[in-house]
Amino acid sequence: MAKSESIRREHAVEKTGVRKVVIYVILIIWAIVNLFPVYWMFTFSLKSNEEIFGKNLIGLPWEWRWHNYVSAWHTGNMPRYFINSVIVSVSAIALVIIASMMATYAITRLVWKGSEQVNAFFMLGLTIPIHASIVPVFITLRNMGILNSHFSLIFPYAAFSLAMGILICTGFMVEIPKELDEAARIDGCGPWKTFGVVIMPLMKPALATISIYTFLQCWNELMFANVFISDSKYKTLPVGIQALSGQYTTEWGPIGAALVIATFPMLIVYIFMSKRIQESFVVGAVKG
């Protein structure tokens, strides 16, 4: 009896052991599927055409041609695209933060009829596709003569991240005890002072989450940037890279270098803040 029990247990251990191995093999294969394109991009950015086109497809470069990076940086305005992307993203983040903080304060802290409806109205923004406004916004910008400018991207980007901003802010703001508002009011603070002195400083974690979320939306957006910007002076990275690869159809090394330049800053930040970044994606979806 005791013996058969122990055999059965051994059998079970063996079975879970096999299962474990299978699971890990699958996990590792999928990890390679996700890492390989980035690895490949990095290695071919340092190779000559000769290597890329057959002699050394996926190995490390034989000769590390860093000057691919120099030519990518110097042709087609890469630094300009980079700076434009930074300007547009940072401005949009600032707008989203200000607008969503204030709106959330009005919705969750001030007492008035209709706050629920207004909140529901903003939440419509979560499902509205960005395409919805492309024609009218395009025409308005054209009539105002600001099609090729940073503004033409900053305001639409901010508008499309606003709903998520409010959603994230609400999640954080309801956690702040209402007693603090009470205490501030007794001390003679009006709503503006309470907002600025009491609430704002406690909302720092929300700021990080909103910034990350908005940043990723802006940094990678293609459709608006493609339609609204034709002047190379205002192109953002996605559009710039599109243009650059059109110029470099035959030489792959410098294109690879441009792709790496556009991607690696993000990946490096991700390595250090992966948890934070992941959280900023989860917060909205799980609460919505």
> Could you say which residues in the range 42-61 bind other proteins, by CB under 8 A?
44, 52-54, 57-58
- Sole binder of other proteins in the list 208, 220, 232, 276 (CB under 8 A): 220
- Sole binder of other proteins in the list 13, 35, 70, 183 (CB under 8 A): 35
Q: Is 242 in the site for other proteins (CB under 8 A)?
A: yes
The DSSP code for 110 is: S
Q: State the nearest-atom distance from the C-beta of 234 to other proteins, in Å.
A: 17
* Separation in Å, CA 202 to CA 6, 167, 183, 196, 206: 58, 17, 15, 10, 9
Distance CA 89, CA 91 (A): 6
Name the residue nearer to other proteins (CB basis): 177 or 265: 265
Q: Is 237 in the site for other proteins (CB under 8 A)?
A: yes
Neighbours of 31 (CB within 10 A): 10
- Sole binder of other proteins in the list 174, 187, 192, 200 (CB under 8 A): 192
- Sole binder of other proteins in the list 69, 160, 172, 213 (CB under 8 A): 160
Q: Which residue has the tokens 């243009």?
A: 243
Distance CA 162, CA 164 (A): 5
Binders in 261-280 for other proteins, by CB under 8 A: 262-263, 266-267, 270, 274, 277-278
Site map for other proteins, 78-117, x if CB under 8 A?
A: -----------------x--xxx-xx-xxx--xxx-----
Binding residues with other proteins: total (CB under 8 A): 88
- 89 contacts 161 by C-beta, under 8 angstroms: no
Q: Is 259 in the site for other proteins (CB under 8 A)?
A: yes
* Separation in Å, CA 35 to CA 32, 41, 46, 90, 182: 5, 10, 18, 29, 52
Q: State the nearest-atom distance from the C-beta of 51 to other proteins, in Å.
A: 11
Q: Is the dihedral of CA 207, 84, 226, 148 positive or negative?
A: positive
Q: Is the dihedral of CA 132, 136, 142, 144 positive or negative?
A: negative
- Sole binder of other proteins in the list 4, 34, 204, 272 (CB under 8 A): 34
Distance CA 23, CA 6 (A): 25
- 260 contacts 45 by C-beta, under 8 angstroms: yes
* Separation in Å, CA 237 to CA 82, 84, 229, 245, 254: 6, 8, 12, 12, 15
Stretch that binds other proteins, among 69-77, 153-161, 176-184, 196-204 (CB under 8 A): 153-161
- 82 contacts 265 by C-beta, under 8 angstroms: no
Name the residue nearer to other proteins (CB basis): 64 or 121: 121
Tokens at 8, concatenated: 């059965």
Q: Is 216 in the site for other proteins (CB under 8 A)?
A: yes
Name the residue nearer to other proteins (CB basis): 31 or 183: 31
Q: Is 144 in the site for other proteins (CB under 8 A)?
A: no
Name the residue nearer to other proteins (CB basis): 6 or 43: 43
Stretch that binds other proteins, among 72-80, 173-181, 197-205, 222-230 (CB under 8 A): 222-230
